[in-house]
Amino acid sequence: MSTKERIEHGIRALITGGVLRNHEVAPRLGLHVIDLQALNLVAMAGGRMTPSALADAMRLPRSSVTRLVGRLESAGYVHRRRSDVDRRSLGVEVDRERLAVVTDQYRQQSERVDRALAGCTPDEVETIARFLDRLTSRGPDSDAHQRDISPR
């Protein structure tokens, strides 16, 4: 197997493992898998996102996102907040305490990343980070179906 094939295989294995893990975690938290994905997107966007931006990122109709945000809010994972700048604008804000409960479900994966990076030099870690940045940010050469999900 070539190095490129090993990388692609590794990425596919990570995606599959993540999807399967989300299917285990979501019911434990009283969420649908798609709710968990939305919560993750909002958290990665700095903990606050407009419903429209969330709908765009998830490629869902705004009405579906309204119901999804309603479920997350009812479960205490997010709060709807008016913008301090534009009182007409509404934002979805992560509840940090409830997010910690979600994050705890992924502690083993986080520790696994820590162990893998512990065997790397700082330059290697930086190379990995740059590679992931390029892979996850939407640029001129990106796949038309890819969404920019890089942290803000």
DSSP string, 45-75: TTSEE-HHHHHHHHT--HHHHHHHHHHHHHT
For the chain, the structural domain boundaries read 3-105, 106-139+148-152
- Specify the pLDDT at position 86: 67
Confidence of residue 136 (pLDDT cuts 50, 70, 90): confident
**Tens digits of residue pLDDT in 39-79:** 999 999 999 999 999 999 999 999 999 999 999 999 999 99
Confidence of residue 138 (pLDDT cuts 50, 70, 90): low
Q: Provide the whole-model pTM.
A: 0.81
pLDDT, the chain, mean: 89
How much of the chain, in percent, has pLDDT values that exceed 70? 88
Q: What dotted CATH number matches 3-105?
A: 1.10.10.10
Q: How many helices (H) and strands (E) does the chain have?
A: 7, 3
**Residue 99 is encoded by which pair of tokens?**
């997010």
Closest CA to 78 of 107, 49, 44: 49
